[in-house]
Amino acid sequence: MPRLLSGLVDDAAVFPPGNAALPDAVTAHRTHRAAWYAGLVGPLLLPASEIQRGSLNGLVDPAEGLVIGLIGDTGLDQLPQALDALAPDGVTARQIEAPVAKRGEDPQPGLSELMTLAGRLDGTAVYAEIPLTLGLMGALDTLAEARAGGLPVAAKFRTGGLAAELFPTPVELAAVICACRDRKLPFKLTAGLHHAIRHRDPETGFNHHGFVNVLGASLAAVGGAEVDGVAELLAATDPVRVVEPARAHRDAERPLWVGYGSCSVSEPLTDLIRLGLVNGGYEA
């Protein structure tokens, strides 16, 4: 697996639109972790509500050392209880991801609460999901200041959903990427990144961002491109135009963009093989 793609795709099988049953998701994740493409796959993402209900009990051998990403769907105040509930199953949360505000709300109070939690953890990465609306840049400033002070916090943004307005335009997403670049602030993405190249969903009519577009855009931003240049890469639908930056940097560490959650691991893997960015012609 090229270094550029290491850990790019977190396993979000239990989330929409996949909605896998938890036992099936755990079994499939073990298969991913043992496969030749394991280097592409990040942790299994699980909602805090399932952890608090004890849904992992009996599904995991404590000796296997399952590593997950904990998604805060129960409110920020419930996250400590969910973390405590992982210990009996020998499960470790490598990262915590939680929304700090709804669209149109001030994100600062939620940010403050989440950063207080991050300060009590032992180096666990914490991602604050920030709406691309009111107070975004101020929230990024707050996160960047905390990160510069040693707190392991970063940003997370949604790039899709059930309504057209939940899909940021190429210019909007480019502005966010450049804002994170300017603040030396890593970010994660979620929702809508179903395929490598930007495309229109024939059923909904929504234009989806491509994850290889985002990869090229992040490389361009770190290389000094400004919003218009980054937006051009995000808007491109020609695979040759999109793939070339990734191919040129395949042996380098991925800059700025930590990765994204996908309800399917096989779909992005298949796209990467078809585009020639991963050699899928062998088994370990």
CB atoms within 10 A of CB 64: 13
Model confidence at 281, pLDDT cuts 50, 70, 90, reads low
Predicted confidence at residue 280, as pLDDT, reads 74
Q: Are 127 and 96 in contact (CB under 8 A)?
A: yes
pLDDT value for 86: 95
Average pLDDT, the chain: 95
What does DSSP say about strands 92-99 and 187-190: parallel, antiparallel, or unpaired?
unpaired
Query: What does DSSP assign to residue 261?
Result: E
3-state DSSP assignment of residue 202: coil
- Residue 97 gets the label, from left (phi > 0), alpha (psi -120 to 50) or beta, of beta
pLDDT (0 to 100) of residue 282 = 44
At which residue do the structure tokens 């805060």 appear? 72
Asked if residues 260 and 10 have their Cβ atoms less than 8 Å apart, the reply is yes
121-128 average pLDDT score? 93
**8-state DSSP, 252:** S
35-91 per-position pLDDT tens digit: 999 999 999 999 999 999 999 999 999 999 999 999 999 999 999 999 999 999 999
Mean pLDDT of 24-30: 98
Average pLDDT over residues 164-174: 96
Q: For residue 241, how many other CB atoms are within 10 A of its CB?
A: 14
Average pLDDT over residues 137-154: 97
Contact 114, 147 (CB under 8 A): no
Query: For the chain, how many helices (H) and strands (E)?
Result: 10, 10
- The residues spanned by each domain of the chain are 159-277
Mean pLDDT of 227-239: 98
Residue 284 has pLDDT above 90, yes or no: no
CB 256 within 8 A of CB 223: no
Tokens representing 126? 């914490």
